Structure 1
Amino acid sequence: MVAQEFTVDLNKPLVFQVGHLGEAYQDWVHQPIVSKEGPRFFESDFWEFLTRTVWWAIPTIWLPVVCWCISMSIRMGHTLPQIALMVGFGIFVWTFLEYILHRFLFHIETKSYWGNTIHYLLHGCHHKHPMDGLRLVFPPAAAAVLCIPFWNLVKLLATPSTTPAVFGGGLLGYVMYDVTHYYLHHGQPTKQIPKSLKKYHLNHHFRIQNKGFGITSAFWDRVFGTFPQRIAAEKTR
């Protein structure tokens, strides 16, 4: 007897369904449903609430933390040019992390029940419902937890007085990433650079999903050879 393929019921909470797709999950999750109304994840209203975040919460919550971190390094005696250099370095490091996480973690291939479930929560939901405006930015509670190991990593590699500014720069890079990501999905850019960036990112969603992993820029895609050739060909015409 051939086992019947599992079918996801989009009218029921999705998170604990998608794991049952097994090997079919990868094909299912990369067939986007273009709707601004996102699906329900959990039966529990509490857990459902934690998965939904308005975009403006990101700068509102994290920019004061960025300023506080930078002020710590200033109080420890660093000049403004030094601070600018450290913050800039932190932003640069974030762009690398952004690329690495998106390419190797967010696009990891899974087929087990819990692998599919975790991937869907982490990034698969965004590819399945790319216009869900309340799940385009990272929930602050989860980001706060992740800040701890990143702070300790910077603390390990930097000096006590430079750690806050470098970490603040990385956090600023994250804020820029998240608000840029929201804008690329819901904004209507008129200038050439943001228009090109929007086209580049939507190409990742709707055409070539194994290329174009950068969000705030295509720099690391060019460095590592994952810049979509279709985009490159169009630019040379």
Structure 2
Amino acid sequence: MVSQPFTVDLNKPLVFQVGHLGEAYQEWIHQPIVSKEGPRFFASDFWEFLTRTVWWAIPLIWLPVVCWSVSMSIQMGVALPKVALVIFGGIIVWTLVEYTLHRFLFHIKTKGYWANTAHYLLHGCHHKHPMDGLRLVFPPTATAILLYPFWNLLKLISTPTTTPALFGGGLLGYVVYDVTHYYLHHGQPSRQVHRDLKRYHLNHHFRIQTKGFGITSSLWDRVFGTLPPLKAA
């Protein structure tokens, strides 16, 4: 007897269903449901709460950390012009991290139950429900966990006095990335540069998911040859 392919019930919590899709998972997540109403992830209200984040929580929580980090370098005697340069360097480092994560982790191909489940939580949910306004930015709890390895990575490429400012610049880059990402999905840009960036990102969602991995800019797509063809979404 041939088993029937698994069908996801959108009226039930999704996270522990999607793993059963197996090899069909990749096709399923790239058939977006365009609705501002997000799906239920977990039966537990506690875990469900942790998956939902309002966009303004990102600058509210992390910009004070940026200021504190930069002030540490200043207190250790780093001159302001150098601090500004290091902050800019941190932003550039973040754009590369942003591109790398999006291309090689967020778009990894999965087919096993737990791999599909993890991928759905990480990024698959965003492609399936791209207009879910409460799951467009990264939950602060997860960000806090990831900041520790990010700090240690920066320590390898900087000095003790400049590491805090570099970290602050990288974190500032992340804040810009997350609020920009929200704006590209829900904002109505009036300036041409912002309209082009919105079109560029929505092309990634609705036309060609294997290119256009930059969010705040197309810099690294140009460097690494993943720039999508110029065509309206």
2:154 corresponds to which residue? 154
Aligned residue number for residue 100 of structure 1: 100
Measured in 2, the distance between the counterparts of 1:96 and 1:156 equals 16
Deviations 1:74-110 (A, max 9, x none): 0011111101100000000000010000000000000
- Return the letter of the residue paired with 2:46: F
Q: Distance in 2 between matches of 1:52 and 1:132?
A: 10
Where 1:82 maps in the other structure, the secondary structure is helix
Q: How does 1:166-181 map to 2 (within 5 A)?
A: 166-181=166-181
Q: Does 1:22 align with 2:52?
A: no
Q: How does 1:183-202 map to 2 (within 5 A)?
A: 183-202=183-202
Matches within 5 A, 1:82-231: 82-231=82-231
Deviation at 1:158, TM superposition (A): 1.4
Partner of 2:37: 37
Secondary structure of 1:212's aligned partner: coil
Counterpart-to-counterpart distance in 2, 1:191 and 1:168: 28
The residue number in structure 2 matching 1:46 is 46
1:8 is matched by which residue type in structure 2? V
- For residues 111-136 of structure 1, the C-alpha deviation after alignment (integer angstroms, 9 at most, x for no partner) is 00001000000000000000000000
The residue type equivalent to 2:173 in the other structure is G
Aligned residues: 232
Residue type of the partner of 2:70?
I
Which residue in the other structure is 1:58 paired with?
A: 58
Query: In 2, distance between residues paired with 1:229 and 1:154?
Result: 34
Greater Cα shift, 157-166 or 58-67: 157-166
**Percent of residue pairs bearing the same amino acid type:** 78
User: How far, CA to CA, are the matches of 1:216 and 1:160 in structure 2?
Assistant: 29
Give distance in 1, aligned partners of 2:22 and 2:182: 30
Give 1:218 shift. 0.4
Determine the C-alpha separation between the residues in 1 that align with 2:44 and 2:175: 29
> 1:230 deviation in Å?
3.6
Letter in 1 for 2:195: K
Q: Which amino acid aligns with 1:201?
A: H
Q: Which runs of 5+ in 2 are unaligned?
A: none
Paired AA for residue 132 in structure 2 = D
Task: Measure how far apart 1:156 and its partner are.
Answer: 2.8
Equivalents in 2 of 1:14, 1:192: separation in Å? 38
Q: Deviations over 1:172-219 (max 9, x none)?
A: 000000000000000000100000000000000000111100000001
The residue identity in structure 1 corresponding to 2:40 is: R
RMSD value over aligned CA atoms? 0.7
Q: Which amino acid aligns with 1:194?
A: H
User: What amino acid maps onto 2:106 in structure 1?
Assistant: F
- The gaps in structure 1 that reach 5 residues or longer are none
Task: Give TM-score, length-normalised by structure 2.
Answer: 0.98
Secondary structure at the aligned position of 2:189 is classed as coil
Q: Distance in 2 between matches of 1:182 and 1:166?
A: 25
* CA distance in structure 2 between the partners assigned to 1:50 and 1:60 by the alignment: 17
